Structure 1
């Protein structure tokens, strides 16, 4: 079978090869709708299959973006990836997804693999353990974007949320409900988002005049959280409210709450930082700090593609800070028991 070429399409459509090439590259600015229709019809009738590899080599692009997430088990990561993929699909851009498991070695391996595959750019939810690698990519003007986590000292596009302010609002809400002994739990302080959430907690507790001890602040590996929570709830200074730093931390505290027969919010008020899809289905319903993750993912894809397509190598990095929403539900509100009135 004779392979149909771009010349065959041009001849059948009655246009030049360069016009067909512009059509295939979606450069329609100076192309009339009639011309586009003729080319589209010629491609369909001839069953022409464009040589994507040859075109990408000519353009020095592969129409592919790499995404490295730190932990795909987080609801936030899943939703961000969905937003990225949705936008890229609309732009005819392919996405390669990698999961580093918060492992710096895996992250570096994936970054090297993606570069070997000549992806046009990489979106990272960074482990924070490869600063030299990030700096090298940025120095060589390789398109990278940091999601959810800042990397100090590396100039690159970054998308985060207002972690400090969001935790501050959660502490203030709990204080309004009468809580004085408020705790916070996160994974280790190896990334900016956890550091900022802990800082927001400290500032709120200080500003609101709520005394707290260091035992009320837990920054530990997920695997050790149950033991830390059991220790936290023994003694006279047990917290009456707790803020879970993300969805995986929440699962650990819920397990201990069930284990010890605690009642929410009577014995312990709960707030969780993350989009918890079942929050409104729990009994009681769960107060959450919601992040606009889908919107963040779409914006990340838009920014990385803008940088990839930009002819200006000195394009200044952009940092976008998205606001979160405190969705107040039953787990953090005082329950007024029926007094017969």
Structure 2
């Protein structure tokens, strides 16, 4: 039976590149910025020639830096989760780190179990899209000294940096656009806000901003798994007399559920406006296209990893909040009124 090919060693890479073993180790342990650009290029070239693959697990077992970053998402099926994972993974790759992702399925018990699993792998930091509003497991992890970043969440009992969307600015941008396009009343549809601080923030801002604009506003709190609930609310909202109606969707999953319900009811998208927070791949493929607020997920992911790396250096600064503005992509679902 043929023997499997032998793995190249870090010492062989160092010899091939003409650098020290310590330099190669720094390159693969997230300290590559300490090396000159020429040295980094030589290490990469030597590793490619030898077919070298670093083993972050082995580094962790030896007591050194593992090079592993953990990421826990509340719902891996959510398009936002997929997009933000891509941003975090890109940032990890650029920093010479590896990403390990777990999914809690919005279950606090699963969240606790997955956090224990990630901790067992000697992760160097953790990016968390928490399942709920409070978490003893996250609090304990933060207290243990593990660098921690909260993604799209605010947890009062967890002392950690926060990275995500500026929810107040996003809602303001959405309502300003709808008013500018001639919509005079808005139905805001969201999943239960008690399960996520970002949902609560968007709902509160919607109510406050509508009051300030004297804009007739309605709210539907529902699950995306109950389409009949959404259909009934849309039917009643559409047939109610009043100014031109629009729907503001709190996230991508709600946007998809709303468009499906609008089509079932035979409503004309655009006449009843639709604007969704979060850009989805299909939003420019429908007729008409769906207006969205696109989150800068790559920039958010990079900011999360930058925060972790700063905390790894022992930064004693108080926790900081890094908020990003969305980009409005106007399409046919928020068309101006037809001139008589």
TM-score range, shorter chain: 0.7 to 0.9
Structure 2 CA distance for aligned equivalents of residues 35 and 240 of structure 1: 57
Does the 8 Å CA contact 1:145/1:304 hold for their aligned counterparts?
A: yes
The farther-off stretch of 163-172 and 30-39 is 30-39
Using the TM superposition, give the Cα deviation of residue 175 of structure 1 relative to its aligned residue in structure 2, in angstroms.
2.1
Q: 2:173 aligns to what?
A: 169
Residue 245 of structure 1, CA deviation: 0.7
Which of the numbers 135, 148, 163 marks the counterpart of 1:144? 148
- Taking a change above 3 Å as real, the CA distance of residues 81 and 39 of structure 1, as seen in their structure-2 partners, is closer
- The answer as to 2:281 corresponding to 1:277 is yes
User: How far is the alpha carbon of 1:243 from its aligned partner?
Assistant: 0.4
The unaligned stretches of length 5 or more in structure 1 are none
Match of 1:329 in 2: 331
| Structure 2 match to 1:96 | 100
Match of 1:160 among 164, 169, 176: 164
User: TM-score, normalised on structure 2?
Assistant: 0.83
Aligned to 1:280, the other structure's residue is in SS state coil
Q: Deviations over 1:252-301 (max 9, x none)?
A: 111211111110112x1100010122222221121111110111112212
Structure with higher Rg: it is 1
Going from structure 1 to structure 2, the CA distance change for 1:113 and 1:237 (only over 3 Å counts) comes to: farther
Which SS does the other structure have where 2:199 is aligned?
Answer: helix
- Give the 3 Å change call, closer, same or farther, for CA 300–128 of structure 1 in structure 2: same
Q: Deviations over 1:122-166 (max 9, x none)?
A: 111111255211211112211111111111232101102111221
1:289-328 aligned within 5 A? 289-308=293-312, 310-312=313-315, 314-328=316-330
The answer on 1:211 being equivalent to 2:213 is: no
Q: What count of residue pairs does the alignment treat as equivalent?
A: 328
What SS does the corresponding residue of 1:336 show, helix, strand or coil?
Answer: coil
1:150–1:160 CA contact under 8 A, matched in 2: no
**Are 2:196 and 1:191 equivalent residues in the alignment?**
yes
In 2, distance between residues paired with 1:95 and 1:307?
17
Q: Which runs of 5+ in 2 are unaligned?
A: none
Report if the CA contact (8 A) 1:104-1:129 is conserved. Answer: no
TM-score (norm 1): 0.83
Q: Offset at 1:231?
A: 3.5
